[in-house]
Structure 1
Amino acid sequence: MVERAVTVALQSGLHARPAATFVQLSNRYQSEISLVKGEKTVNAKSILGILSLACTKGSQVKVVADGVDEQEALHALTVFLETEELPG
């Protein structure tokens, strides 16, 4: 299991389209992936879970990945949250 703290840099935070993109990116990986904000942990492959965190620009979150491709997943998701760029 790997995890990394990230500051959400997306202009609109994780709402609507960026949240959908984040979920689609999470679903590319076999690993179990969670997003943690404060005391709340949600499945990063669930759009409703991601939206329920109400992450705005500047929010502090933690990405947690556990599985065969955890390193790749963690890297791709943190890059997206910090830059809104998709891997590859």
Structure 2
Amino acid sequence: MFERTATIASRVGLHARPAAIFAEAAGEYPHEITIARQGEPADEAMDAASILSLMSLGASHGDVVVLRADGDGADTALDHLVQILETDHDAE
């Protein structure tokens, strides 16, 4: 199991446009990727490819989230997804 932490960079948090960008990218990988707020149990993590799960996560600007995935290439997938979360998509 691979795990990465990321700090939400978008000024409005992980809502609307940033969540859609992230969910689309997560869905392109063949891995089951989960996301949870830092400090929450791993068994409460949500599907990172689901925009509804992402929006219900309620992650705000500056919050730290934990991404987890398993399998060949999962570490590379998580690195890419961290880059997306740590980009302010509201500034583009």
TM range (shorter): 0.7 to 0.9
Q: Is the 8 A contact 2:4 2:79 kept in 1?
A: no
State whether structure 2 residue 91 is matched by structure 1 residue 66: no
Q: How does 1:42-81 map to 2 (within 5 A)?
A: 42-81=46-85
Q: Judging by fraction of residues, say which structure has more strand.
A: 1
The Cα shift of 1:6 comes to 1.5
Name the structure, 1 or 2, with higher relative contact order (CA <8 Å, separation 6+).
Answer: 2
Q: Percent identity between the aligned chains?
A: 42
Instruction: Give the RMSD, CA atoms, in angstroms.
Output: 1.5
Distance in structure 1 (CA, Å) of the matches to 2:88 and 2:27? 17
SS at match of 2:55: helix
Label 1:84 to 1:26 Cα distance change in 2 as closer, same or farther (>3 A).
Answer: farther
Gaps of 5+ in 1: none
The Cα shift of 1:20 comes to 0.7
